[in-house]
Amino acid sequence: MAEAEPRWEHFSHQADIGVRGFGATPAQAFETAAMALTAVITDPRLVVPRQVVEVECEAPDLELLLVDWLNALIYEMSIRRLLFGRFRVTLQGKRLQGRAYGEPVDPKRHRPAVEVKGATFTELKVERRDGLWMAQCVVDV
């Protein structure tokens, strides 16, 4: 059960909060990092995947690509008033194609704690640790 669950966590930053995702591949770590992003706002299990949004990003390296991916999600959440609870990412070199599944924010049900302003370059890392990929950065709330 534990292995099948997407694994993500938050880490502390004095003013803001860090998001960290793990996966067997960089793409999977990007997906779980996105789950951690949603969890800053609400419990991802409360988000029903009723609709899908596709995003594409391109960056000179994997770390910048992580920031771009999270910022693309922040942008889509903001303009569409959506929350996302499930993600699919494919990486081809420096290009990312992602799908985010979610639904419109329902303040009564989701009780959003905070809105995320942007993903930052602070504590930004995409690396392999003990055979597992980790993708993390601090997000500004």
Partner 1 sequence: MSREGNALEYLGEERWRLPPRGAMRVPVELFASRELVEALDAKVLEQACNVATLPGIVKASHIMPDAHWGYGFPIGGVAAFDPEEGGVVSAGGVGFDISCGVRTLLTGLRRDQVEAQRERLADSLAANIPAGLGSTGLIRLDDRQMRAMLAGGARWAVKQGYGREEDLSRVEEEGCMAGADPDEVSERALDRQRREMGTLGSGNHYLEVQEVAELFDAETAHHWGLRQEEVVVSIHCGSRGLGHQIGTEFLRRMVVEAPRHGIQLPDRELACAPIESSLGKAYLGAMRAGINCALANRQILTQLTREVFHRLFPDLELPLLYDVSHNTCKEEWHRVGGERKRLFVHRKGATRAFGPGHPELPEALRATGQPVLIGGSMGTASYILCGTSASEKLAFSSACHGAGRAMSRRAASRRWRGGEVVAELGARGILVRSPSLRGVAEEAPGAYKDVSAVVESAHRAGLAKRVAKLVPLICIKG
| Window of 22-30, 77-85, 94-102, 125-133 that interacts with partner 1 by CB under 8 A | 77-85
If binding means CB under 8 A, how many residues of this protein chain bind partner 1?
Answer: 38
Which position has the token pair 């996105």? 34
What residues form DSSP beta bridges with 14? Answer: none
- Give the Å distances, CA to CA, from 87 to 16, 33, 45: 23, 10, 13
- Tell whether residue 47 is a contact of partner 1 (CB under 8 A): no
What is the DSSP-derived secondary structure letter of residue 42?
A: S
Spatial distance between the Cα atoms of 73 and 54, rounded to a whole number of angstroms: 10
Q: Which of 6, 53, 71, 101 binds partner 1 (CB under 8 A)?
A: 71
Contact footprint for partner 1 (CB under 8 A)? 10-17, 41, 60, 64, 67-68, 71, 74-75, 78-79, 81, 105-107, 110-115, 117-122, 124, 138, 140-141
